[in-house]
């Protein structure tokens, strides 16, 4: 551990060994040519990730232009009704799921390690896996459009329109399996970001010295953890209904179409802030640099961000103001929707205050920020308007709302993103982007945007609904629509100019970048290569490059921590979550085929399942698991002797328990699983309030004894696994007790699941008959979904133990397995209580 004395003794003035930097570079070298797909380094994956997200931006933008062409004149026949419906569904879906969330996640993967002074993300292979899964899954999903197989139920996919009865084509299945799968990839990225931000900051970078972008990414990732599981559950339920007839959304059997809307918008509203917060973080980074002064109200802004994240989970019903819900709920959600505008107000005036306290330079990033301020404020104000229930009754699902959320999303996210591209390009590229072209790009985009979207407010007020493929001439919406179409093409020409600028000037990947041309104050403006800075500095303020004048020079001379590779592998320093005190040296994996292959096979599994090629899908699934096992076999390397990272600081090379970064990742994963299960508990109770008549009388339920038996099995499973932990062998192995107990615990979990399913079947419950049966078997399904990985992991734990890779001193794999196992037991017990106890309580 580092104490204040050693920290103050830095930077070291000792000369560095001659070949230290060359060795460091060799360890971090990217594979050549096409083997680059095996690289896992955050910079390389970050380039791929941002590039792919922008590709989807262009694709979905092209769809938008087709939409605008169709609507330019009344009664147009440019697109057919069905084609138009597919195109607007894909435009929304691709923009939200394949562009907006991935691109901010990508910017996080690319920028965070540099900003935090880390060499890489804490789980490089997980990041690579998440990217490739998204890349392959996204491309396959998009290409359904070329085969007339794209979904046409809207990006919100409301049942019953998307049920097998009203959407018999597999387009809806592509949406459910494809998007569900891509969201899993987003969650993987979120776990990576949370652990990265909390555990891999440079020494001394306490939470209140953390760059604002890192704060927003932390909150962004935290929101993904709680919001995405709701929509993943929704997609599971709808797919179970489509494939097997479990009637979650069919009113005649006790289901309810509104359940989907609750789950979807419980995700969908936070989603807006999930997209906006990181963009606000970018603004909070760029404004201080361009004004040449620290952000005014740093703490206020952090509080505002946290408040936004918190409030955003209490607003979802404002998407449902027209569904006939009672006045009391309407008023509550109306108030909450207004309250969420307060933190945005704080941020807007904090940026204005920062501009006022410095001198704003008229650069391209500044222009995009000012454009953002105007557009986002206007979008926020129409947001306040639609939060007013009676006004919403008129404009809901009209072009007024289309205008509103494009002002919020394009203004709130795309403009800051373009500011960010122009701002950070010199940190990664040999040349900065052109200021002259950049200003043209801005004016084309700003003018085009307002010309395209402002008239939509008016069209909506004049009665034009959303999602219409045409309209009759008598409605006199023609002029406004023609203006919108022209604006859209102007906006697109701005994007085209930006692409020209990129082609002319963007030169990433070289060892020398254009550098700190804006005089930024944060660590990403150090001389960063693929491995980040030459040495990892001590941070003593929020804007270290401004406060520590020689920092850049000293870092580059290797005068701070970890100036070379100590163990001959890729490494980074793990620090404590709040104070950022060095804790241990994390050895990171290098390039390998397994993340790439695992992602491809996982994508193949989901896509083949969609087209009902079950055998091939299963083969892909098994191969994906096999790749994961191979990948994990090398993880959790053997502890080494403590190492000196410089300045007399000795760090261990191994950590277990809550000190370990992977323990943190597992906890976050359990939060995801818990959120998913709570969404299920909510669905169960919600559907009971809607159709209690479908719940059987207590005497018709599965007997209490069966539940007691299952519960007994589960509790004993937990006890057995605890016992296994006690007999975890030391270095030298003796007996087979550990393997036996671990195997037994896994088997008992399976036995409890089988006992529950057979008890319910014997009691006459069937999943497709009515909503109660469907919910009972959903509990079992969710249980099976987590029991299966536990079985695989138990086998893996046993294999590692047999292979001598799991002993008392090297036990992280077992610790993580135990966390998941005990969580699963807890989830099962809750499920038993709900499924067996609730009907008896309520009946």
Partner 1 sequence: MRHARSFATIVASSVVLGGCGRDVQSMLAPKGIQAEQIAVLAWLLFGFGIFVLAIVIAATWLAIGGSARSRRILAQENTVLTLGIAFPVVTLTLLLGYGVWLTRALLDTDRDQNAVGIEVVGEQWWWRVTYLAPDGTPVASANEIRIPVATPIAFKLKASDVIHSFWVPSLGGKVDMIPGRTTHLRLTAERPGTYRGQCAEYCGGAHALMALEVIAMPASEHAAWLRRAAMPARAPQSDIEQRGQHLFLGAGCGACHTVRGTAAAGKLGPDLTQMGARRSVGIDTMPLTHDNLVRFITDGQHVKPGNLMPEFRFLQPPELDALAAYLLSLKAMDADG
Q: Which of residues 346-405 bind partner 1 (CB under 8 A)?
A: 346-350, 352-357, 360, 370, 373-374, 377-378, 381-382, 384-385, 388-398
Mind giving me the DSSP string for 367-423? Answer: HHHHHHHHHHHHHHHHHHHHHSHHHHHHHTTBHHHHHHHHHHHIIIIIHHHHHHHHH
Q: Residues 432 to 461: which contact partner 1 by CB under 8 A?
A: 454-455, 458, 461
Shorter beta-carbon distance to partner 1: residue 342 or 614? 342
Residue 98: partners with Cβ closer than 8 Å, 6 or more residues away: 53, 56, 60, 134, 138, 141, 142, 182
Shorter beta-carbon distance to partner 1: residue 390 or 735? 390
Alpha-carbon 142 to chain mean position: 20
Shorter beta-carbon distance to partner 1: residue 51 or 345? 345
Q: Residues 81 to 120: which contact partner 1 by CB under 8 A?
A: 81-82, 85
Shortest CB 389 distance to partner 1, Å: 4
Residue from 78, 158, 313, 443 that binds partner 1 (CB under 8 A)? 158
Shortest CB 476 distance to partner 1, Å: 5
Are the C-beta atoms of 765 and 772 separated by less than 8 Å? yes
Residue from 161, 667, 727, 737 that binds partner 1 (CB under 8 A)? 161
Residue 69's SS3 state is: helix
CA-angle at 176, arms to 174 and 177, nearest 5°: 70
Q: Residues 280 to 309: which contact partner 1 by CB under 8 A?
A: 296-297, 300
Query: In terms of DSSP H, where are the helices of 506-634?
Result: 544-547, 551-556, 594-610, 614-633
Shortest CB 227 distance to partner 1, Å: 23
Q: Round to whole Å and give the CA distance between 56 and 65.
A: 14
**CA distance readout (Å), 219 to 104, 127, 275, 483, 676:** 12, 18, 11, 39, 19
Number of residues forming the site for partner 1 (CB under 8 A) = 83
Shortest CB 636 distance to partner 1, Å: 47
Q: Round to whole Å and give the CA distance between 826 and 786.
A: 12
- Going by C-alpha positions, the residue among 660, 642, 640 that lies closest to residue 651 is 642
Q: Round to whole Å and give the CA distance between 300 and 350.
A: 8
Token reading at 525: 């403006």
Shorter beta-carbon distance to partner 1: residue 335 or 499? 335
Are the C-beta atoms of 218 and 193 separated by less than 8 Å? yes
Shorter beta-carbon distance to partner 1: residue 467 or 733? 467
Shortest CB 752 distance to partner 1, Å: 35
Residue from 1, 342, 500, 808 that binds partner 1 (CB under 8 A)? 342
Q: Applying CB under 8 A, does 334 fall inside the site for partner 1? A: yes
Shorter beta-carbon distance to partner 1: residue 349 or 633? 349
Are the C-beta atoms of 637 and 631 separated by less than 8 Å? no
Q: Residues 575 to 594: which contact partner 1 by CB under 8 A?
A: none
Shorter beta-carbon distance to partner 1: residue 80 or 758? 80
Shortest CB 374 distance to partner 1, Å: 6
Shortest CB 539 distance to partner 1, Å: 24
Shorter beta-carbon distance to partner 1: residue 30 or 691? 691
Shorter beta-carbon distance to partner 1: residue 143 or 169? 169
Token reading at 455: 């008239």
- Going by C-alpha positions, the residue among 530, 527, 529 that lies closest to residue 516 is 527
**CA distance readout (Å), 748 to 64, 453, 702, 717, 820:** 53, 59, 20, 6, 15
Q: Applying CB under 8 A, does 341 fall inside the site for partner 1? A: yes
Binding mask 598-637 for partner 1 (x = CB under 8 A): ----------------------------------------
Shorter beta-carbon distance to partner 1: residue 354 or 522? 354
Is the link from the previous residue into 267 a cis peptide, with omega within 30 of 0?
no
Shorter beta-carbon distance to partner 1: residue 475 or 578? 475
Q: Round to whole Å and give the CA distance between 591 and 665.
A: 21
Q: Round to whole Å and give the CA distance between 188 and 183.
A: 9
Binding mask 166-185 for partner 1 (x = CB under 8 A): xx------------------
Shortest CB 34 distance to partner 1, Å: 44
Q: Applying CB under 8 A, does 258 fall inside the site for partner 1? A: yes
Q: Which stretch binds partner 1 (CB under 8 A): 158-166, 175-183, 586-594, 658-666?
A: 158-166
| 264 CB-contact burial (10 Å; exposed 0-12 / middle 13-18 / buried 19+) | buried
Q: Applying CB under 8 A, does 818 fall inside the site for partner 1? A: no
Q: Residues 490 to 529: which contact partner 1 by CB under 8 A?
A: none
R_g of the chain, CA atoms, integer Å: 27
Q: Which stretch binds partner 1 (CB under 8 A): 342-350, 526-534, 564-572, 784-792?
A: 342-350
Query: In terms of DSSP H, where are the helices of 245-340?
Result: 257-291, 298-311, 327-339
DSSP conformation class of 583: E
Q: Residues 678 to 737: which contact partner 1 by CB under 8 A?
A: none
Shorter beta-carbon distance to partner 1: residue 469 or 525? 469
Q: Residues 457 to 476: which contact partner 1 by CB under 8 A?
A: 458, 461-463, 465-472, 474-476
Token reading at 410: 């394009």
């Amino acid at each position: 551990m580092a104490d204040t004395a050693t920290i103050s003794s830095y930077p070291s003035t000792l000369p560095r060994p001659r070949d230290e930097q060359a060795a460091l570079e060799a360890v971090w070298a990217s594979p050549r040519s096409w083997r680059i797909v095996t690289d896992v380094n955050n910079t390389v994956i970050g380039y791929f990730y941002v590039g792919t997200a922008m590709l989807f931006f262009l694709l979905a933008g092209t769809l938008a232009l087709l939409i605008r062409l169709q609507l330019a004149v009344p009664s147009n026949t440019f697109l057919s009704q069905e084609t138009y419906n597919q195109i607007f569904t894909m435009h929304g879906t691709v923009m939200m799921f394949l562009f907006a969330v991935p691109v901010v996640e990508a910017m996080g993967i690319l920028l965070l390690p540099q900003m935090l002074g880390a060499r890489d993300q804490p789980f490089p292979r997980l990041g690579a896996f998440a990217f490739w899964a998204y890349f392959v899954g996204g491309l396959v999903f998009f290409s359904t459009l070329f085969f007339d197989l794209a979904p046409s139920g809207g990006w919100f996919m409301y049942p019953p329109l998307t049920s097998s009865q009203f959407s018999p084509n597999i387009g809806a299945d592509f949406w459910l399996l494809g998007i569900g799968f891509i969201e899993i990839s987003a969650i993987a990225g979120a776990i990576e970001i949370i652990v990265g931000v909390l555990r891999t900051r440079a020494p001394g970078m306490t939470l209140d010295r953390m760059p604002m972008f890192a704060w927003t990414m932390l909150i962004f990732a935290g929101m993904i953890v709680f919001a995405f599981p709701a929509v993943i559950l929704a997609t599971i339920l709808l797919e179970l209904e489509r494939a097997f007839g479990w009637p979650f959304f069919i009113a005649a059997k006790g289901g309810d179409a509104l359940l989907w809307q609750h789950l979807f918008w419980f995700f969908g509203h936070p989603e807006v802030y999930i997209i906006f917060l990181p963009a606000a973080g970018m603004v909070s980074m760029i404004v201080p640099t361009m004004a040449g002064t620290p952000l005014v109200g740093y703490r206020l802004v952090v509080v505002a961000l946290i408040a936004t994240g918190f409030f955003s989970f209490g607003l979802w019903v404002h998407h449902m103001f027209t569904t006939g819900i009672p006045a009391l709920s309407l008023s509550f959600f109306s108030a909450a929707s207004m309250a969420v505008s307060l933190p945005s107000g704080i941020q807007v005036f904090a940026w204005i205050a920062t501009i006022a306290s410095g001198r704003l330079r008229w650069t391209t990033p500044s222009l995009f920020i000012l454009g953002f301020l105007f557009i986002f404020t206007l979008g926020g104000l129409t947001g306040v308007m639609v939060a007013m229930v009676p006004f919403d009754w008129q404009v809901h699902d009209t072009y007024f709302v289309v205008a509103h959320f494009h002002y919020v999303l394009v203004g709130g996210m795309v403009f800051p993103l373009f500011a960010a591209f122009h701002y950070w390009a010199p940190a990664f590229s040999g040349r900065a982007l052109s200021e002259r072209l950049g200003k043209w790009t801005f004016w084309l985009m700003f003018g085009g945007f307002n010309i395209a979207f402002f008239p939509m407010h008016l069209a909506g007020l004049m009665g034009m609904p959303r999602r219409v493929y045409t309209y009759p001439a008598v409605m006199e919406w023609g002029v406004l629509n023609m203006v919108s179409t022209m604006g859209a093409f102007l906006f697109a020409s701005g994007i085209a100019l930006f692409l020209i600028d990129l082609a002319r000037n963007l030169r990433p990947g070289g060892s020398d970048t254009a550098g700190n041309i804006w005089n930024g104050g944060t660590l990403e403006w150090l001389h960063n290569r693929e491995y980040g800075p030459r040495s990892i500095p001590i941070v003593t303020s929020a804007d270290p490059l401004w406060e520590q004048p020689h920092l850049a020079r000293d870092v580059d001379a290797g005068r701070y921590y970890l100036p070379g590779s100590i163990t001959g592998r890729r490494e980074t320093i793990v620090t404590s979550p709040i104070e950022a005190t060095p804790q241990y040296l994390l050895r990171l994996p290098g390039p390998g085929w397994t993340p790439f292959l695992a992602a491809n096979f996982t994508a193949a599994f989901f896509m083949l399942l969609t087209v009902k090629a079950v055998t091939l899908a299963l083969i892909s699934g098994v191969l994906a698991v096999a790749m994961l096992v191979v990948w994990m076999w090398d993880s959790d390397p053997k502890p080494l002797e403590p190492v000196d990272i410089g300045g007399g600081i000795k760090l261990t090379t191994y950590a277990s328990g809550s000190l370990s970064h992977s323990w943190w990742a597992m906890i976050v994963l359990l939060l995801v699983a818990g959120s998913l299960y709570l969404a299920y508990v909510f669905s169960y109770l919600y559907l009971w309030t809607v159709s209690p008549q479908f719940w059987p009388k207590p005497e018709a339920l599965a007997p209490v004894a069966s539940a007691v038996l299952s519960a007994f099995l589960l509790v004993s499973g937990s006890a057995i696994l605890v016992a296994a932990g006690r007999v975890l062998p030391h270095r030298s192995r003796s007996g087979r007790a550990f393997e036996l107990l671990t195997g037994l615990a896994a088997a008992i979990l399976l036995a409890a699941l089988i006992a529950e399913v057979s008890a319910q079947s014997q009691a006459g419950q069937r999943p497709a008959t009515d909503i109660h049966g469907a919910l009972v078997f959903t509990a079992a399904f969710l249980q099976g979904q987590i029991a299966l990985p536990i079985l695989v992991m138990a086998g893996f734990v046993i294999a590692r133990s047999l292979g001598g890779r799991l002993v008392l001193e090297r036990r992280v794999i077992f610790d993580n397995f135990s966390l998941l196992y005990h969580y699963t037991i807890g989830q099962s017990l809750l499920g038993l209580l709900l499924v067996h106890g609730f009907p008896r309580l309520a009946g």
